[in-house]
Chain A
Amino acid sequence: MHASELITEILRVLAAGLLLISFAMLSGRRTQQLITLFAWQGALLFVSTCLVAYSSGLTEMYYSAALTLLLKVIALPWILHRLIKRLGAQSDSEQLVNVPMTMLAGLVLVIFAFGLAQPISSMATTITRHTLGIALAVILLAFLMMITRRKAVTQVIGFLAMENGLFLAATSATYGMPMVIELGIALDVLVGVFILGIFFFQIREQFDSLDLHNLESLKED
């Protein structure tokens, strides 16, 4: 078998794995479990970026792969773990509304994403063009996850997962964004997490809980 064919096959498997993790996150109840899943998603992303870099011979991609490894597999999960430990929210779990229905909505989103990606991926020339649909689906699923959750930490994880999807979309459509933009996004994400972390403490101090449901009382009647 040809090496590039093999790589394409592996990339597809990895992309499918990413989608699988997205669904697992959609149905996961425990915060800690979600962070682990997020780290795994980063790891898969790292491997797939490395493979794309290898097959396309772009050195830049190796940098962005390394960035993924550092930020999404090591740094952010560590920060989040620390955060929930400090917040005392390790064993937090939330009541989900009707998991099967959410999953069904997720399925429909997947179909929609693929339908959307079809024209774009038929124009792209990258070896990862088939995974564009999956990348879009990962973004939409992360969005869905943010909608269905009420805890602050899980919202942040959803946000980060969405960024993963964006990254995958960029690599699959055009072999990644320019390095400057990527660095900028990485920094944004990092800063975003810090700021949100500070928000968590504020929220908890105000309401004695991290349930965003409490924020509803802030609106004017």
Chain B
Amino acid sequence: MRAISFVRQFVEAALAIAIAPLFTGWIAQCRAWLQNRSAPPLLQPYRMLRKLFLKDVALATGASALFRATPYVLFGTMVLAAAIIPSIVTDLPLARVADSIALVGLFATARVFLSLAAMDIGTAFGTLGARREMMIGFLAEPALLMVLFNAFLLYGSTSLPSLVDGYRAHLSVIDPSVIFAALAFVMVALAENARIPIDNPSTHLELTMIHEAMLLEYSARHLALVEWASSLKLFNYACIGFALFLPWGIATHGADGAGALLIAIAALIGKLTIAGAALALIESLSAKLRIFRAPEYLAMAFLLAVLGLLVHLLVGA
């Protein structure tokens, strides 16, 4: 019994590591289609990673150990987070290690490490990117926490597996607060993953970049790990969103045989396909905000989440 859950745990983490770049590739493809460009192949991110792993690292002269350790730390935290989030099964040995609040903390750890590494070389862009990233982070994190509070009010737990199991038990019509929470979550997820209204993942325009500015000094295998970690982060956010709002198909505690597992994997891939297309659509429809407008955008997400809490307390009760 215990052994099988460890096997599931391993399968889930391995699956996350394996398909996270695919998800990124799928989004890039959808974006290209929507924008009437010829799309890159679906497996482009893997080729990219392979190329990067084979190159020699060009390391800036002043780089400290922190700078070299950060890609590994980023990748480590993201893999761990992927192992904790119930993307296909809820009965995971690691799932009790961190509830959703601790997951937010884990993401914050990754963000702080990346920002510190960006400041390490001491170039103007690195520090600029670090500052902006932390600014986005400190506005996005409270909004995310409020979304989680909302989930706690609905299902009485902050632990994601319990949330998914609890959702099965309730299965009522949508609570009004969920609309607010889901909107806020999507806004936060876009901002946290350097997506379009806040940051453009495919630009190196100096004045506007955030995420890319921090990676300027990274090359070869370090860059590969950071990129992989970024796609894992996006994947993780998607899975948190599924666990919170669309938990259909996830194999719950007690009903997780091989068949349920296969259904869960199929459901996950289906949800990721739709979510990726939706993300590409949002990105194609909206314009990137000026950096000064970013606080406004995130404040809106934050207020939406709080509003969700209030609506739940007042109408739902």
Contact = CB atoms under 8 A, between A and B. Distances in A.
Interface string B163-192: 000000000111111011001000000000
B296 to A, nearest CB: 5
A27 B315 contact: no
B300 interface: yes
B307 A134 contact: no
A103 B303 contact: yes
Interface residues of B, number: 22
Contacts of A103: 299-300, 303
A176 interface: no
By DSSP majority rule, is chain B's interface helix, strand, loop, or mixed?
A: helix
B307 A99 contact: no
Interface residues of A, number: 26
A133 B296 CA distance: 27
A200 interface: no
Contacts of B303: 23, 100, 103-104, 106-107
B311 A16 contact: yes
A149 interface: no
A90 B183 CA distance: 28
A12 B314 contact: no
B173 A13 contact: yes
A12 B176 contact: yes
Interface in B291-317: 295-296, 299-300, 303-304, 306-307, 310-311, 314-316
Interface in B258-317: 295-296, 299-300, 303-304, 306-307, 310-311, 314-316
A15 B176 contact: yes
A134 B311 CA distance: 9
Contacts of B299: 99-100, 103
A12 B315 contact: yes
Nearest to A17: B179
A99 B306 contact: no
Interface in B101-150: none
A20 interface: yes
Contact of B315 (A1, A106, A130): A130
Nearest to B172: A9
A16 B180 contact: yes
B133 to A, nearest CB: 20
A15 B316 CA distance: 11
Contacts of A19: 307, 311
Contacts of A185: none
A45 interface: no
Most buried by A among B174, B179, B180, B315: B315
A23 B176 contact: no
A68 interface: no
A10 interface: yes
Given A16-B180, A20-B179, A99-B299, A10 B311 contact: no
A131 B314 CA distance: 9
Given A12-B315, A12-B316, A20-B180, A107 B307 contact: yes
5 contacts: A9-B173, A13-B176, A15-B176, A16-B180, A20-B304
Ranked nearest first, the 4 interchain pairs of A and B with the lowest CB-CB distance are A16-B176, A100-B299, A9-B173, A114-B314
Interface of A: 1, 6, 9-10, 12-13, 15-17, 19-20, 23, 27, 99-100, 103-104, 106-107, 110-111, 114, 130-131, 133-134
Interface of B: 172-177, 179-180, 183, 295-296, 299-300, 303-304, 306-307, 310-311, 314-316
Given A12-B175, A13-B173, A106-B303, 7 more contacts: A12-B316, A23-B304, A99-B300, A107-B306, A107-B310, A110-B307, A133-B315
